[in-house]
Amino acid sequence: MDLGIRGRRAILLASSRGLGRACAESIAREGVDVVVNGRTADDVATAVEELSARYDVQVEGVVGDSSTVEVHDALLAACPEPDIVLLNGEGPSPMPFGRIDAAAMEASLQQSLIGPLMFVQRVLPGMCDRGFGRIVAVSSAMVKSPNPMMSLSHGPRLGLTGVLKGLSKDVVRHDVTINQLLPERFDTGRQQQMANLVMKLKGITYDEARAEQVASIKAGRLGRPDEFGDAFAFLCAAQSGYLSGQNLQLDGGSYEGVF
């Protein structure tokens, strides 16, 4: 299926590895020029090199924390008029609720809510003026952290979901869509990190911790990053202009609700 986005331009926050990198792969394969971003220079350089070698598209890299104004400036210098934006970011490490202080919560709000919204504020007018835009945010499918731990990002990401839902109603008439991807457990470095955490909490082996992850998914396996990336590519497609304000569960059939 031709997604009709060849020649478009994309900025992908936190895309040098993991699910963000999978998203970069999927739209680069469709002929989209991409700007990848990550906190580590080596990861960004590797992503740029590999994507440039595999696909006939322009690839640039921007190193730094994508929740900051300085990195927003650098991303928009690399691609002043993006047609596609991925709002992604690695969440903070889980911690016991009793250890969360105001400083940690403020940092999570900046990373997972304020930073992404400030970037959307800068790219949205141009998308509306040009009559095409696809914004996709990665949020939390479930509040599932190793008991009694919790992730600081759950609250800010749910807040981001609410704000973006409201925005989606205002801009869809310009063929600018805003949607969310809600991943459960995908086989990335993040789940390896979580398995190591469960090992320490429960005193079990790494293989046992990984088996617990798999057992929590109805499909009986972790998701593949390419499955996530291709779902992102579809939400970016020219044919997806009537799909906006939605939260797409990518959870291996684990969600128990009907709607």
Could you read off the pLDDT of 85-142 as tens digits, one per residue?
999 987 777 777 888 889 988 998 999 999 999 999 999 999 999 999 999 999 875 5
Task: Provide the residue ranges of all domains of the chain, joining segments of one domain with +.
Answer: 9-184+224-250
N-term to C-term CA, the chain: 28
Q: What is the pLDDT of residue 146?
A: 46
**Helices marked H in the chain — which ranges?**
18-29, 41-54, 69-78, 102-109, 115-130, 154-171, 189-202, 206-215, 225-235
Identify the DSSP state of 243.
-
Q: Check pLDDT > 80 for residue 246.
A: yes
Q: List, for residues 190-201, the tens digit of each pLDDT value.
A: 888 888 888 888
User: Quick check: 37 and 13 in contact, CB under 8 A?
Assistant: yes
CATH class of 9-184+224-250: alpha beta
Average pLDDT over residues 162-186: 96
Q: Give the separation between CA 240 and CA 235, rounded to whole angstroms.
A: 6
Phi, psi angles (nearest 5°) of residue 90: -75, 130
Q: List, for residues 195-225, the tens digit of each pLDDT value.
A: 888 888 899 999 989 999 999 899 999 999 9
197: buried, middle or exposed (CB in 10 Å: 19+, 13-18, 0-12)? middle
Q: What is the pLDDT of residue 192?
A: 86
**Helix, strand, coil tally for the chain in percent (to 5):** 50, 15, 35
Phi, psi angles (nearest 5°) of residue 141: -75, -40
Q: List, for residues 37-60, the tens digit of each pLDDT value.
A: 999 999 999 999 999 999 999 999
> The tokens of 63 are what?
């190193």
What rounded mean pLDDT belongs to the chain? 92
65: buried, middle or exposed (CB in 10 Å: 19+, 13-18, 0-12)? middle
